[in-house]
Amino acid sequence: MLGRLKAMFDFFKASVPFRLQPAIITTIFLVVMLLLPAPEGLTPKAWALLGIFLTTILAIILKVMPIGVMAMMAMTIVALSQVTATSSRGAIADALGSLSSPLIWLIVVAILISRGLKKTGLGSRMGLIFISLLGKRTIGIGYGLAICELVLAPFTPSNTARGGGIVHPIMRSIATAFDSDPAKGTERKMGTYLSLVNMHANTITSGMFVTATAPNPLVVDYVARVTNQTFHLTWTAWALYMLVPGLVCLLLMPIAISILSPPEVKATPDAVGYAQTALKRMGPLSGKEWVMIGTFAMLLVLWANVPAMIFGPAFTLDPTAVAFLGLFTLIITGTIDWDDVLSEKSAWDTLIWFGALVMMAEQLNETGVIPWFSNLLKNGIVAAGMGWELAATLLVLLFVFSHYFFASTTAHISAMMLAFLTVGVSVVPPDYVIPFLLMMVAGSSIMMTLTHYATGTSPIIFGSGYVPLGTWWRVGFIMCVGELIIYAVLGTTWWRILGLW
């Protein structure tokens, strides 16, 4: 009998399009949450919405199915359970409401624009140029990869596409050219080092621009909310505030990793010749590459609000409108075509899962869940009798290191950041709120260094086999602590110079 049941279970497990055991765990979790009575301070509907949200986060962490499917599941349950409204019509309107958000479409359109980097070959060309200039030593190649990340970051809101799709193939081809191959057991020649530089440059640059990774505009929205729109991180402001600490982190990172995980091969004079040969094969800049360069320059000027600075506030353009202008420019010039737009699965996948997470975060706030959790956290801090300095430090550290439990930066930010910001604003004196907020903003990208599943770029680089798991976690933890210290010391000093506190 037991054998037959096991055979049926195995057959069902092999037949369903989802991971059965994680699906059972998440289902049990949801049922338990819904059966538990609502705690004091929350309505039954608000508690049910929290249960749906936490179940979605758990399903994403356990990878029951692709994140887009989990997001669609959440929207369906919200609509059918009517936890946000009194009718099915109102509930489905709430569930789909965030899909029209300019915040989300900024990310979607920017991902579509970044497709042109791959299609035209401009991304690879940029990486090879930096290698040809800096590649005489392995650490120079590391700096070449880091600078490539920095140049691409303002225009590629998918850090996975940038670090995993553009920079990582360049890094792998260079490592292979020097016979550094995990299949041969020679990964430590230079591949381990370059892979770690590839990953950490990706996380550092993700925190330097609003448009460098998908969750950043969500962070902007949360910061504006908790300050009642008095402190809004524009594209220019974000770039300015993160400029000095970000550049210092990027400057020190290749050196730090060369100490933490030194390459066996130090001198690489052949790398310059390799890059130069590859560039010769590519030939001169094509017309479409020039269009990409021109489009990026236009986006940078408009996102930085240069017309408004020159001609007045009437010429201020919404960042999402600017992104659509850039996409339209690429399409009408033939740099990318409509089939490219339709086939860019990551953009449309982002529209669904990001929209669902933003929707639930908004509804949690409207139904009182975020204020309720914030009060619990605040009361705990008050009961502990700690000063505001320790409380602010604890909030930043708890937020950053809780990322060990998340496989999605967006899911983590959606689940926790608004509540942590709300508590911080209530316990930190007004004169010091801005540096606290900016430390939380910095932490939202620094935490991506921690694990091999911390963000979309991580499994791509880790999956290439160059970095052992222990090395990844050890280097990730040390780099995370180091970058937090740089932002806490140098960052706060820079923000003081700028007059922010």
The model's pLDDT over 486-497, given as tens digits with 9 standing for 90+, comes to 999 999 999 999
pLDDT band at residue 333 under the 50/70/90 scheme: very high
Q: Which residues, 6 or more positions from 366, have their beta carbon under 8 angstroms from its beta carbon?
A: 84
**Separation of first and last alpha carbons in the chain:** 71
The pTM of the full predicted model, rounded to 2 decimals, is 0.72
Min mean pLDDT across 126-135, 224-233, 340-349 is at 126-135
pLDDT value of position 227 = 92
Min mean pLDDT across 145-149, 351-355, 430-434 is at 351-355
pLDDT value of position 243 = 95
pLDDT band at residue 202 under the 50/70/90 scheme: very high
pLDDT value of position 14 = 66
Based on its alpha-carbon atoms, the radius of gyration of the chain, rounded to whole angstroms, reads: 24
Checking if the pLDDT of 205 tops 80, the result is: yes
Closest CA to 360 of 110, 102, 76: 76
pLDDT band at residue 12 under the 50/70/90 scheme: low
Q: Which residue type occupies 235? A: W
Q: Which residue type occupies 157? A: P
pLDDT value of position 21 = 85
Higher pLDDT, 388 or 161: 388
Checking if the pLDDT of 192 tops 70, the result is: yes
pLDDT value of position 11 = 64
Q: What SS3 state is found at 456?
A: coil
Checking if the pLDDT of 338 tops 90, the result is: yes
Q: What sign results for the dihedral spanned by CA atoms 459, 461, 467, 471?
A: negative
pLDDT value of position 368 = 83
Min mean pLDDT across 47-61, 117-131, 231-245 is at 117-131
d(CA 287, CA 289): 5
Count CB neighbours of 221 within 10 A.
17
d(CA 422, CA 222): 9
Checking if the pLDDT of 18 tops 80, the result is: no
Inter-residue long-range contacts of 433-437, CB under 8 Å, 24+ positions, other chains counted: 433/227, 433/231, 433/501, 434/231, 434/495, 434/500, 434/501, 435/491, 435/492, 435/495, 435/500, 435/501, 436/392, 436/395, 436/396, 437/223, 437/226, 437/227, 437/231
Calculate what percentage of the chain has a pLDDT beyond 70. Answer: 96
pLDDT value of position 195 = 93
d(CA 315, CA 323): 16
Phi, psi (rounded to 5 degrees) for 267: -95, 135
pLDDT value of position 16 = 62
Query: Average pLDDT, stretch 231-257?
Result: 94
Q: What is the mean pLDDT of the chain?
A: 86
- Tell me the pLDDT tens digit for each residue of 467-485: 888 899 899 999 999 999 9
The domain segmentation of the chain, as residue ranges, is 14-99, 103-224+231-345
Checking if the pLDDT of 323 tops 70, the result is: yes
Checking if the pLDDT of 418 tops 80, the result is: yes
Min mean pLDDT across 11-25, 68-82, 90-104, 305-319 is at 11-25
d(CA 4, CA 131): 60
